[in-house]
C-alpha cells in the first residue's frame, strides 16, 4: 500500500512538472535538419529531384544567421533560443544544440522578439491571406505589419548550345504592408485618399498631417510615421 501511494505521488509530481513546461521547444518541435539548413530540401521538377538549400542560389532567410529570441505564448509563457525566420516555408527555425529545428504550425507561441535586432514577428490567423508570421512594425490600436516572402525559382535548362542553364534560386519578394484597424486590415495602402476614407472621423487631422508630411506609401518609415500618428 505504501509503495502504491509513493507511486501515485511520483506520477502526480511528474505530471505537475510537465504541465508547467512550455510545449514547443522542450521536444524536437519538428526536426528539419542538422547543420545550418543545408539539409533542407526543395522539390525541383525540372531537375527531377529534391535540391538542398546549398544547391540553390540565394537565400530564403531575411536574416541568414541565428540570433537569440524570446518565444512568447498568449498566456505569457516564454522560452529563449537562437532563431531565424524562413520566408519560403513561413516557419520559425531555432537551434537546439547542433540541430536546426522548426516549430510546428500548431505551436503555442504567437510572438517572437529578437532583442538585439529590435525585431518582432507575430503569428496572425485572420483569414487565408493574413495568416502566418508577420513583422510587427508598430504595435497599438492601429498596427503596422510587414509580410516578407521568398520565392523559389526552379532550374531552367539551356534552350540550345548558345545559351546557358539558369540555376535554381531563391529571391526575397517586395514586402506587403498591412495596417490593422478596428474595422479590418488595409493591405498596401496606396494614397492619402484611401486612408482618409478609412478614417472619416480623422479627416481634418489627417488632411493636416498629409499637408505637413510628404508620405510615400511604398516606404516603411513613412507608413510607420502614419500609423504612429493614427494612434495619437
- The answer for residues whose C-beta is within 8 angstroms of residue 217's C-beta and 6 or more apart is 188, 189, 190, 191, 223
Res. 21: pLDDT tops 80: no
Give the model confidence (pLDDT) of 152-191 as tens digits. 999 888 888 888 888 999 999 999 999 999 999 999 999 9
Task: Read off the pTM.
Answer: 0.82
Bigger pLDDT: 29 vs 93: 93
Rg (CA), the chain: 23
Per-residue pLDDT, 11: 31
Task: Convert the pLDDT of each residue in 211-223 to its tens digit.
Answer: 999 999 999 999 9
> Residue 201 has what DSSP assignment?
G
The yes-or-no verdict on residue 16 having pLDDT over 50 is: no
Side-by-side strand order, sheet with 91-96: 31-34, 99-102, 91-96, 78-86, 67-73, 109-114, 119-125, 131-138, 143-147, 176-181, 184-187
Give the pLDDT confidence of 86-139 residue by residue, as tens digits. 999 999 999 988 888 988 888 899 999 999 999 999 999 999 889 999 999 999
Beta-bridged to residue 170, according to DSSP, are: 152
Cα–Cα distances in angstroms (integers) from residue 165 to residues 41, 48, 59, 155, 161, in the given order: 21, 15, 19, 7, 10
pLDDT value of position 25: 61
Which residue carries 516557419 as its cell?
91
Q: What is the pLDDT of residue 40?
A: 81
Reported as a single tens digit per residue, the pLDDT across 31-74 is 444 344 445 889 999 888 999 999 999 999 999 999 999 999 99
pLDDT band per the 50, 70, 90 thresholds, residue 199: very high
Predicted pLDDT at 39? 53
Confidence of residue 29 (pLDDT cuts 50, 70, 90): very low
pLDDT on residue 26: 54
Query: What one-character-per-residue DSSP string does 8-77 give?
Result: HHHHHHHHHHHHTS-SSSSS-SSEEEETTTTT-EEEETTTTEEEEGGGSBS-S-SS-S-EEEEEEETT--
User: Domain locations in the chain?
Assistant: 2-188
Give residue 165's pLDDT: 85
Banded pLDDT at 147 (limits 50, 70, 90): very high
Instruction: Give yes or no for a contact between 90 and 132, defined as CB atoms under 8 angstroms apart.
Output: yes
Would you say 22 and 79 are in contact if contact means Cβ atoms under 8 Å apart? yes
Amino acid at each position: 500500500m505504501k509503495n502504491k501511494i509513493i507511486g501515485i505521488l511520483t506520477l502526480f509530481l511528474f505530471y505537475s512538472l510537465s504541465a508547467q513546461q512550455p510545449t514547443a521547444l522542450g521536444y524536437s518541435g519538428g526536426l528539419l535538419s542538422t547543420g545550418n539548413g543545408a539539409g533542407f530540401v526543395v522539390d525541383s521538377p525540372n531537375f527531377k529531384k529534391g535540391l538542398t538549400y546549398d544547391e540553390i542560389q540565394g537565400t530564403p532567410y531575411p536574416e541568414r544567421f541565428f540570433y537569440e529570441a524570446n518565444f512568447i505564448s498568449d498566456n505569457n509563457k516564454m522560452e529563449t533560443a537562437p532563431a531565424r525566420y524562413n520566408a519560403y516555408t513561413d516557419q520559425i527555425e531555432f537551434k537546439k544544440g547542433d540541430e536546426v529545428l522548426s516549430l510546428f504550425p500548431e505551436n503555442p507561441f504567437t510572438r517572437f522578439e529578437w532583442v538585439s535586432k529590435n525585431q518582432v514577428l507575430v503569428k496572425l490567423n485572420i483569414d487565408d491571406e493574413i495568416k502566418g508570421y508577420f513583422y510587427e512594425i508598430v504595435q497599438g490600436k492601429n498596427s503596422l505589419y510587414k509580410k516578407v516572402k521568398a520565392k523559389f525559382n526552379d532550374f531552367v535548362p539551356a534552350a540550345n548550345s548558345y545559351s546557358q542553364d539558369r540555376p535554381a534560386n531563391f529571391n526575397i519578394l517586395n514586402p506587403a504592408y498591412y495596417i490593422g484597424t478596428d474595422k479590418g486590415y488595409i493591405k498596401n495602402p496606396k494614397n492619402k485618399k484611401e486612408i482618409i476614407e478609412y478614417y472619416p472621423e480623422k479627416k481634418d487631422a489627417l488632411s493636416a498631417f498629409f499637408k505637413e508630411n510628404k508620405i510615400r506609401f511604398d516606404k516603411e518609415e513613412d507608413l510607420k510615421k502614419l500609423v504612429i500618428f493614427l494612434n495619437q
